[in-house]
Amino acid sequence: MKILNILLKVIIITLIISSYTIAQSKINVNHLLDYGGLKFMPNSDKPFNGKVFELYDNGRKHWEKRYIKG
């Protein structure tokens, strides 16, 4: 029974950590839509929250920042 509780805790902690890291993925700002000065994901009615970046034509990173509420 004690082993089951420890295993359950490890699984829960792993799920929490993995969901946090997945949610922190970055998106190219050119893939977002601009409505009224706010950025949105395609097919979403909520302003975008998360990390965005833009690349130069040669593929190098131009800038990176975090958007909060679009």
Q: Which residue has the tokens 């000065």?
A: 37
User: For residue 18, how many other CB atoms are within 10 A of its CB?
Assistant: 10
Q: What pLDDT, in 10s, does the model give residues 4-59?
A: 888 888 888 877 766 655 556 789 999 999 999 999 999 989 999 989 999 999 98
Phi, psi (rounded to 5 degrees) for 16? -65, -45
Is the separation of the CB atoms in 43 and 31 below 8 Å? no
pLDDT for position 15: 74
pTM tops 0.75, yes or no = no
